[in-house]
Homo-oligomer: A and B are copies of this chain.
């Protein structure tokens, strides 16, 4: 997924091979994007998603409101792009065993810091995605992005022979990620190291993983 701002109406993606003919007029200020995204991330920490206003973002970024609306369609798109742009790099653990990798990947989620921001954010984005097809697609892409590391872990395991060729990797990811999100966002159930370990062990048994 690209970190580039949402293309707005008429911004034809005519970036065809050849020339990519410069559009006439003053080009968009590249630094404005950065300033806006930085302001969004700042404000998300300070007032949360629902307390974030476009006026505040504009002021904090030293930017006119129109500059924001020229680049994004609304708060949700903006936040999603800010998150995408500012994403911390995911570690792709490599401990040598499938179980070790999965634990290394999921255990950090039990720290409250990690849960903090996401809990308020993801549901808000999902809610908006329900009535905004474009955002829905962007949200899917964002989520899909985060599936990458787990997919890599599983593929390495398959190469090592820990997983059979018949195992549905997508479903396996959902078996791991689904219960965690469900607890975080909806049921409020605990997401602690014990739960993660139990979860991983269940899933390993479900997919018939065999230690090498």
Contact = CB atoms under 8 A, between A and B. Distances in A.
Interface in A149-186: 168, 170-171, 174-175, 177-183, 185-186
Copies of this chain, tallied across the complex: 4
A139 to B, nearest CB: 7
A171 B187 contact: no
Contacts of A131: 48, 50-51, 120
A205 interface: yes
Q: What is the interface residue range for chain A against chain B? A: 35 or more
B208 A128 contact: no
A189 interface: yes
Nearest to A205: B206
State the 7 A-B residue pairs at the shortest beta-carbon distance, nearest first.
A178-B178, A178-B179, A120-B130, A123-B126, A206-B206, A178-B182, A124-B127
8 contacts: A50-B131, A120-B131, A124-B127, A126-B126, A126-B127, A147-B187, A174-B187, A185-B185
